[in-house]
Amino acid sequence: MPQTIQEIEDEIVEEFSEFEDQMDKYEYIIDQGKLLAPLDPQYMTDDFMVKGCQSKVWLRAYKDGDRMMIQVDSNTAITKGIAALLWRVLNGQKPEDILATDLSFIARSGLRSHLSSQRSNGLSAMILKLRHYAQALSPQTPEGGLNANTI
């Protein structure tokens, strides 16, 4: 059985708590980004770009059964690491569970407090795009509603 969003968030908060030094936390974030599979270049287009990020971030989501699958990439290491944390929490979850979560790991880990205002805005933009994808892929969205590939 897949882990719940809460279980994954708790793991991330625990991992963050192991670091006292700010630079160690940044290194952890960068290392998370290195775990992501590269995004297929066909999705590195404006249609999949997250608006509101200073760095380039491409985000794709699609449904596999009742689960939302996420693919993400960025042109900078820190932003890719932040995106990887969101991917880790939300990839493979049900769209309705994604819409219901408040992503408490961000506050509980202190992640946002370690980010510049521009990166914090980028994090918010990624979350917003992921929520739009979840809404589009949710079973409650009527046929002919939102199209996840054009959000």
Q: Show which residues are catalytic.
A: 53
β-bridge partners, 59: 72
Task: Give the distance from CA 146 to its chain's centroid.
Answer: 20
Instruction: Give which of 39, 70, 79, 43 is closest to 136, Cα–Cα.
Output: 70
Instruction: Give which of 125, 116, 118 is closest to 57, Cα–Cα.
Output: 125
C-alpha distances (whole Å) from 122 to each of 50, 56, 100 are: 8, 10, 21
